[in-house]
Amino acid sequence: MVKQLLDRRLPRSFYERDSVTEVARNLVGTLLCTYKDDELTVGRITETEAYSGRNDKACHANNNLRTPRTEAMYGPPGHAYVYLCYGIHHLFNVVTNRKGLADAVLIRSIEPVHGVRIIANRRNVKRVEPNTVNGPGKLTRALGIDLNDNRTDLTGEELWISEDRSVFIGDIDTSKRIGVDYSGEDAHKLWRFTQDGNKWLSR
């Protein structure tokens, strides 16, 4: 199981494209995997959001803001950017485009496909339901992702994303990003991508 998923890992070139919205769109339907302490958990990505390092006030790296926190976004593509939100939640992004440009895709929701018992334990629930994993802070907890994963290479063997051909690109909806009202006109960008009709979404 682990080997099959590792064999299908998305290559660096997937993340390296210059359109962060295209990467965000194409990540819907892929499999987000963690293999830690001999425990494999996998979730199909159902919802993503694109953030651009240039000309996007919703992005942490907007206006070339370069700080210890945002440094991961300025790093090479195909690496993780994990940060702490509201002092409680870990939010997971994948860095895209070329090094130095700070484009990234936030993963907002998943549909569990493997390791359901482990996910239930990590979330402290008996049954795994949509509201167990349908949010950026919930899914990181469910998959065991935290600040230790910041800057992790996603072509490695602990945290990665695998290809899967189960979602057609035409079945992906676009909408406004969540929780970025502070960013003025950039809040209207249709940079949220969801799998049409999937019940494992954040809203």
- Say how many CA atoms lie within 13 Å of 33 toward its Cβ: 28
Q: Choose which of 6, 40, 65, 116 interacts with DNA (CB under 7 A).
A: 65
CB of 65 to DNA, least distance (A): 6
Chain residues 153-172 in contact with DNA, contact rule CB under 7 A: none
Among 15, 35, 51, 200, binds DNA (CB under 7 A): 51
By CB under 7 A, tell whether 60 contacts DNA: yes
At residue 55, φ and ψ (nearest 5 deg) are 65, 40
Nearer to DNA, 42 or 102 (CB): 102
Q: How far apart are CA 170 and CA 142, in angstroms?
A: 29
Cβ-in-10-Å burial (0-12, 13-18, 19+) of 29 comes to buried
Q: Is 68 in the site for DNA (CB under 7 A)?
A: yes
Segment lying near DNA (by CB under 7 A), choices 22-30, 129-137, 158-166, 190-198: 129-137
Q: Is 191 in the site for DNA (CB under 7 A)?
A: no
The 3-state secondary structure of 136-182 reads: HHHHHHHHCCCHHHCCCECCCCCEEEECCCCCCHHHEEEECCCCCHH
How far is residue 80's CA from residue 96's CA, in Å, rounded to a whole number? 10
Closest to DNA by CB, 195 or 202: 202
Phi then psi dihedrals of residue 137, to 5 deg: -80, -30
Find the binder of DNA among 1, 2, 11, 85 (CB under 7 A). 85
Nearer to DNA, 62 or 195 (CB): 62
Interface with DNA (CB under 7 A), residue from 4, 38, 88, 169: 88
Give dist(CA 101, CA 81) in Å, integer.
14
Under the binding rule (CB under 7 A), the answer on residue 112 touching DNA is no
Please give the structure tokens belonging to residue 161: 């994303």
- Binding residues for DNA (CB under 7 A): 49, 51, 58-61, 65, 67-70, 73, 81, 83-89, 91, 93, 104, 106, 123, 131, 135-138, 178-180, 182, 202
